[in-house]
Structure 1
C-alpha cells in the first residue's frame, strides 16, 4: 500500500509532469468503461427530438475528411449528423467517444484541430450554459476560413465529470492514472454555418438543451457528466 508521504510526492510530481509521475507507479491498466454498460452513440442520440430532425446522409458535411480520419484513430466511436428544424435552422453535431482517455491518448479539442484544417480560431471563451438541467461547462469559439464562418459550442466529459479547462482535464486523467485506472471520455461538438456569431451560439444552446433532454436518463451522465458540486 502506498504510504501518504510517497503519494503526496507523486501528486506533486504529477502537477509538474504527469507522465513522469505515472512512470513511477506504472501504466494504468483498468478501464473504468469495463465497469459500465456498453453504449452505442447511434442509440443514445435520437434522430428526431423536439423541433429537430435528422438530415439523411449529411454526416459527411460535418467535418473535413482529413480530421475525420484522425478522430477514428483515437476514438472507439464517432457520430456525425446534421439536424434541421421547421424554421430552416441547421445544426451540425459531432460526438466522439473513447474508452481510453489516458495521459497519452486524449480528446482532440477543436481549438487545436481546426487550425490544422486551415481555419483561424477566434472568440475562444469558456463558460457555463444551462443545458440538461445543470450548468454545463462548455467552450465556445469561432472557426473561420474564406467562405466559411463556423461558430462552435463544445464540451468534454471525462468519466462522469464535464471539464472545459484542459489543465483540470489532464489533472483528472493523472489522478485516476495514479490509482491504475483509465477513464473513458466523450466530446460533444455543436456548430452552425453563420456569420452572426451570437445568433449561432443562441441556436446551439437551444439545440444542445433539447438534445440532452432527449438522451435516455440512465445514459445522460455519460453525455454531460454529473452536476457540478457547489
Structure 2
C-alpha cells in the first residue's frame, strides 16, 4: 500500500495530539484486537439489515474491488488464496498491522495507522458480509458483464464455437486464448472495466468450472492474439456492436 497515502506528511505538532490518545487507549485497555472485534460486530450488524438487489450487488462488488486501505489490502490478499476461514483472515490482518506498527517511531503515524486499519476494516467487512451472506460470493459472468443479456449471448457464442459444453464446462485446452477473449471483452467495455482481473478470474472459474491461476492470466493477456483469435474478436465485435 502507498505509504504516503496512508501516513501523509509528518508534522511535529501531530505528536502532541497523538501521544495523549495513545495513553488514553492504553489506560482504557483498548487493544487493537478488542477494537477490531467491535468493528467486525458493527459491520456484521449493518450488513444484516441490507436487502440486496441485483443492482446493489453489482455496485457493492465494484466498491469492494476499489477499496484501498491497510485492512482491505491485506484482507483481499489473503482472501484470494481461498484456503483460510474468516478467523484466520482476521488473524492475518492483525499480524500485518502489528508488524507495521512495530516499525513506526512516530505516535502520530501509529494513530493514523490505527484509524486507517479500523475504519478500513469496518468498510471492508460491511461489504464482505453483505455480499457473502446474500450471494455467497459466487460471482459469475452475469455479474461482471454490461447489459441485461450480454452474458447469455456470450455463453451461447462460446457453446456454438465449442469452447464450452452444455453445462458450461471448458472443453478447450488452450486457456491462454480463452483468457484473451475475455480480456477483449473487458477492453471493449462488454465486461465492466471497473472489475479487476482477480474478480474476472473468479467469475470465469465459477462459470466454467475450472481454475485460472493469476500467473497464467497475467502472461496470457500480454501475448499478441493469433489469427484465429482475431477472427473471434471480429465476430464478437459484430455480435456486441463494438465500434473500433
Which interval holds the TM-score relative to the shorter structure? under 0.3
Instruction: Give 1 or 2 for the bigger CA radius of gyration.
Output: 2
* TM-score, length-scaled by structure 2: 0.26
